[in-house]
Amino acid sequence: MGSVAPTSHFAALPSPPRDEIFELLGAYRRDTHPDRVNLGAGVYCDDAGEPWPLNVVRDVESAMYEKADPHRHDYRAIEGDTEFLALARDFTFSTACEANRLTSVQTVSGSGANHVGARFLAETLRPRRVWLSNPTWSNHELIWETVGVPIHFYPYYNAETRNFDFEAMMATLEKEAQANDVIVLHACAHNPTGLDPNQAQWAAIGELCQRKGLFPFFDNAYQGFASGDPDRDAWAIRHFAQLQPAVEMCVAQSFSKNLGLYGHRAGAFHVVAANDGCSPQVRDAVIANLAQIIRSEYSISPRYGSDIAKAVLGSKALTAQWYSELQTMSSRIISMRQALYNELVRLGTPGSWTHIVDQIGMFSYTGLTFPEVKYLRETYHIYIHSSGRISIAGLNTKNVKYVASAIHAVRSNPAAVPSA
């Protein structure tokens, strides 16, 4: 009697969609066309189109190499490096709230902070829902799905005006949001739209959260990178932290963009307690719960990136050097926004393009449709997210005219673009 071929346990496993950004990056790398342009990945590049390790980071790395600390590969505590965490807290919060209201753990950059925070709130706050902006960073939705909290969306982007839809956001939250709902807010340089509330709008959002008992969850991925001014970029977080009566909230923090530590995964998660949650017992319980989550998932965070961040933040001279380089990066992004806008206007490209210069940060929501994006990719080898979001960091003085002329060609001859 012949043996029966075994059936794999995984034969009927569904295949989830691939992450589009990483798929785009792979397609770009396989493309050999001399004019190919990568406008998908959120990684800062210089005007030559090359990665730009910050000089201050290189200096710290050289000093670390010379020191050759024998403990440089040791484990850290599960909750992370306390010196790094204190400096990271000060960088974000400054003097916005008392230190005893803050409890922090080190994470695997911003993604890890978002996930640890989402799981922590799912298990402790047990919110009925989480509110995400429409649109938002794609990983937000995946993270909150993973922890089992129902997702609702608040309006954010008005496709017709290509502006932040403050009125629609507030109307939806006023009508539908309930006490203990979590609301995820982008601290600055909203991803993917590049559109942020102004300070008066932030104040109104804070008042709504305070009045309705919502739990703000700030994603702080671009502090200092967005405007070149870390204090300006942290304004919303600090305003919420100063509200009275106090609002409990949390912050996911990343040093990937502002220090260029993408692959070294330096980040932190901060919990801000109400005034009656400041006792050592409460803070110890928060850390213990967060540490249990971290231990079960990845045990401890990487130390190389956080060691670099600690060295920079712990030195006045190195911090000043870093702030100068933040200005360099943000200024180049702003100049590329202006260059793309100027070229589209010079060409007479159909449509209004003022939103490109009105937005801030690494990304621009261009208003390009999926068929247009697909056509640009296949015909001009320009790699753009299907939403029409582009990474301004991928533009430089050598390719911006090519990109603008391709967009002009697509917009000027819509009949040439196959429908989706």
The answer to whether 289 touches 117, Cβ cutoff 8 Å, is no
Catalytic residue among 52, 81, 131, 137: 137
Q: How far apart are CA 113 and CA 389, in angstroms?
A: 24
384: left (phi over 0), alpha (psi -120 to 50) or beta: beta
Q: Is 316 a catalytic residue?
A: no
- The owner of tokens 């739990």 is 215
Catalytic residue among 81, 165, 181, 219: 219
Q: Which of 386, 382, 404, 388 is nearest to 338 (CA)?
A: 404
Catalytic residue among 181, 257, 307, 353: 257
For residue 41, give every residue at least 6 positions away whose Cβ sits within 8 Å of its Cβ, in sequence order, or none.
21, 24, 25, 391, 394
Q: Taking the CB of residue 169, how many other CB atoms lie within 10 A of it?
A: 23
The answer to whether 293 touches 106, Cβ cutoff 8 Å, is no
Q: How far apart are CA 296 and CA 282, in angstroms?
A: 22
Q: Which of 103, 111, 108, 87 is nearest to 322 (CA)?
A: 87
Q: Taking the CB of residue 269, how many other CB atoms lie within 10 A of it?
A: 29
Q: Which of 264, 270, 165 is nearest to 220 (CA)?
A: 270
Q: How far apart are CA 129 and CA 139, in angstroms?
A: 17
Distance set, CA 12 to CA 7, 8, 142, 341, 399 (Å): 10, 8, 22, 49, 45
Q: Is 137 a catalytic residue?
A: yes
Listing DSSP states for 73-84 in one string gives T----TT--HHH
Q: Give 185's strand partners.
A: 218
Tell me the catalytic residues.
137, 219, 257
